[in-house]
Structure 1
Amino acid sequence: MAGAPAGRAAGGAVLLLLAVCLRPPPLARARSLRFVTLVYRHGDRSPIKAYPRDPYQEAAWPQGFGQLTQVGMRQQWELGQALRRRYRGFLNATYRRQEIFIRSTDCDRTLMSAEANLAGLYPPERGEMFNPNVSWQPIPVHTVPESGERLLKFPLTPCPRYEQLQNETRHSAEYTNKTKENLQFLQMVAKETGIRDVSLESVWSVYDTLFCEHDTTLVALQMALDVYNKIQAPYASCHIFELYQEDDGNFSVEMFFRNESGKEPFPLTLPGCQQKCPLHKFLQLTDPVIPQDWEQECQVASTVHDTELFVALAVCGSILFLLIILLLTVLFRIQSQPPGYRHISNEGEEQA
């Protein structure tokens, strides 16, 4: 993280998908899946920008810089199909608004990724097709203005403390030593690309332009959970939280990560717990990364000095906070309401 400050990056944005299916437990009590939260990255995109001597400037890309490509659309459609297979029998066979909620950053490529994902997750049956020639159905994707995003947006803005820590990183001994050790390489890159800023940060932006692959939000989430394996999170990769009710009535949380198309997600274990982590233990272990006061913790007056830790906690804290609130909501509804499907939210029901 120190070698590639994310303050200049524009869009390691991911999507948050919440799937809730509150069915009555079977008469013979057995372990059952009750709730799923997915955090996934957008699909393949065009570069955010081009370096001065890049022969492929914005006009070379059909939709311009930073946009979802057709490859990215297919990646998300395939992820949607994989989720349909994984949660067959948990999600209804056809779309039901009461059991799913999708949240995206207010960005073209993430909104389009969500829509492509849903096209794979909910291919319409004959009775759902509003046009016999269109094998697709509209499903709502929720978002908020970029200026008000506190759940999925990265880098953090405005956040004075984050900017201060980024600046401290650029002047740290580790960062400056890496710059000196690779100065000849940096100068070569600057010469060949036409960039003027000879720094690790500028080279990172060249890498992004050449390979169109970087992520920050999903990595920050996994860093805070201490399950990051130091490997770049590919496009359409997906971090999964699953809530189970055990045969004794207690609840547990399992985590999985899908980082390769065509392969099943592999399990992740929260340090300090087993893979099937009891819910109370999961809440206890993740409590330190939940922000208590976002505005206060983003101010310069903070005494935190660990840059990587602060960035990771600040980015994913809100995601985990929402996850825990939803987990508790599910538990409350399971215990207090009669059997049957339940709404996630009654918001908008009174609207025409």
Structure 2
Amino acid sequence: MAADAKGRGWAAAVLLLLVLWLQPPPGRPRSLRFVTLVYRHGDRSPVKAYPRDPYQASAWPQGFGQLTQMGMRQQLALGRFLRRRYSGFLSDMYLRWEIYVRSTDWDRTLMSAEANLAGLYPPKGPQVFNPNISWQPIPVHTVAQDEERLLKYPLTPCPRYEQLQNETRHSAEYINMTKENWQFLQMVANETGIQHVSLESVWSVYDTLFCEQVHQMDLPAWATPEVMSHLRQLRDFGFDYLFGIIHRVEKSRLQGGVLLGHIRKNLTQAASEPIHHNLRVLAYSAHDTTIAALQMALNVFNNVQPPYASCHFFELYQEDDGNFSVEMFYRNESGKEPFPLTIPGCQHKCPLQRFMDLTAAVIPWNWEQECQVASTLHDTELFVGLAVCGSILLLLIILLLTVLFRIQSQPSGYRHVSNEGEEQA
């Protein structure tokens, strides 16, 4: 009996070892691997004033289109939020290989990036270079405005996009919107002194009045709450006009799909890198149209202007089974957590490959050719080449005529004439 019990015990032990051996090894816990941020600059002064506006450039401390102290505080708050959100993912101290920040070459976006980084990386320990300053310099990269082809939208020149916009102006929705608001637009034109106000340009009137209102400047009597609400609706319609209404997919290929293509490339590259890959956060400091174009390409745009310091998050996770997923969030209100964004056709925790498949249609394979820029350049080169060849040919003809003229104009001198007999000999 004892031997039987001992045998059964050995059998149970062997069976247990066999079960443990056959079980798959425990996977790594789900982990965040890479983050891309696209945020709008903070509060700014208006980009311009309308003709009858009592507040011209001199009414603003730094002139038009500049980041205000309110905007600096908004970006500082966003940076501090990012510090809390990514604590443990980003090092407590700034490490240059962990984060890369790119901005458009506008003062307000460059300064917003700097204010954001001040909140994200307050200096600690050996990085404190002045005990009286809770700040440290961190690089922000940019390209010249005329070379910007990634973050400032709409991207130009793009003849095909202009053709699509012309078709949009002739669409039923645009025409009806113009008819419904014709009298209102005429009123705005009369009150502001602008010769022509359209659905495309009325945003600037609202922008100017909104900036003045935020900074507690007196609005004109005609700018009632009802008028401001109407203007805001037309401003939001302007974003739909830029990137949607009709031909949304093709417009996205020519606009927001360009940025989305870069983001996709970085996500796939991060997924293929070792787990200890250095770069962890890529941040873009840009504009409201940047976020709108990007979200329209993703088909998650809510048709409302992205507010100051709003931020779109792409977070790449490695699941416990080794596969990767993408989660998107949108922070459009300070003091509140960002809310999740779900791309149509997928769940919020979207598998990376599924994310790539769903967004493939809006990624341009050759932006210049799809914009029909390349053919325009080719025609220009052809015309230049023909002009050069024609000029050279004309010079050769002139040179030849000159030589012939000089030969004919020479005086006829003595010539020996042979007699016929000598020629026969």
TM-score class, shorter-chain normalisation, is 0.7 to 0.9
Shift, 1:199, TM fit:
1.9
The reply on whether 1:225 has 2:295 as its aligned counterpart is: no
The reply on whether 1:281 has 2:349 as its aligned counterpart is: no
Number of aligned residue pairs: give it.
276
The reply on whether 1:247 has 2:295 as its aligned counterpart is: no
Match of 1:124 in 2: 123
Match of 2:23 in 1: none
Contact between 1:164 and 1:300, CA under 8 Å: does it hold in 2? no
Provide the secondary structure at the position in 2 that maps to 1:202. Answer: coil
1:59-70 map, 5 Å: 59-70=58-69
- Amino acid corresponding to residue 257 of structure 1 in structure 2: Y
Q: TM-score, normalised by structure 1?
A: 0.75
CA distance in 1, matches of 2:163, 2:208: 26
Structure 1 or 2, whichever has the larger Rg, is 2
Shift, 1:271, TM fit:
0.9
Moved more, 147-156 or 206-215: 206-215
Match of 2:371 in 1: 298
Match of 2:333 in 1: 260
Shift, 1:286, TM fit:
1.2
CA distance in 1, matches of 2:184, 2:112: 36
Contact between 1:94 and 1:125, CA under 8 Å: does it hold in 2? yes
Shift, 1:96, TM fit:
0.3
CA distance in 1, matches of 2:197, 2:102: 38
- Amino acid corresponding to residue 110 of structure 1 in structure 2: T
Please identify which structure carries the higher helix content: 2
- Amino acid corresponding to residue 307 of structure 2 in structure 1: P
Match of 2:168 in 1: 169
1:32-43 map, 5 Å: 32-43=31-42
Match of 2:157 in 1: 158
Match of 1:108 in 2: 107
Q: 1:301 to 1:183 in 2, by over 3 A?
A: farther
- Amino acid corresponding to residue 50 of structure 2 in structure 1: Y
- Amino acid corresponding to residue 297 of structure 1 in structure 2: E
Shift, 1:301, TM fit:
9.9
- Amino acid corresponding to residue 291 of structure 2 in structure 1: L
Contact between 2:316 and 2:324, CA under 8 Å: does it hold in 1? yes
Q: Structure 1 regions of 5+ residues with no counterpart?
A: 1-26, 303-352
Shift, 1:28, TM fit:
6.0
CA distance in 1, matches of 2:362, 2:172: 27
Contact between 2:157 and 2:373, CA under 8 Å: does it hold in 1? no
Provide the secondary structure at the position in 2 that maps to 1:240. Answer: strand
Moved more, 226-235 or 83-92: 226-235
1:86-136 CA distance string (max 9 Å, x none): 000000000001110001111110000000000000000132111222111
RMSD of aligned Cα (Å): 1.8
CA distance in 1, matches of 2:105, 2:145: 6
- Identity percentage of aligned residues: 79
CA distance in 1, matches of 2:356, 2:147: 27
- Amino acid corresponding to residue 93 of structure 2 in structure 1: T
Shift, 1:300, TM fit:
7.3
Q: Structure 2 regions of 5+ residues with no counterpart?
A: 1-25, 212-231, 236-287, 376-425
CA distance in 2, matches of 1:35, 1:219: 23
Match of 1:148 in 2: 147
Shift, 1:220, TM fit:
1.2
1:8-157 map, 5 Å: 29-157=28-156
Q: 1:200 to 1:125 in 2, by over 3 A?
A: same
Q: TM-score, normalised by structure 2?
A: 0.62
CA distance in 2, matches of 1:301, 1:125: 51
Contact between 2:331 and 2:337, CA under 8 Å: does it hold in 1? yes
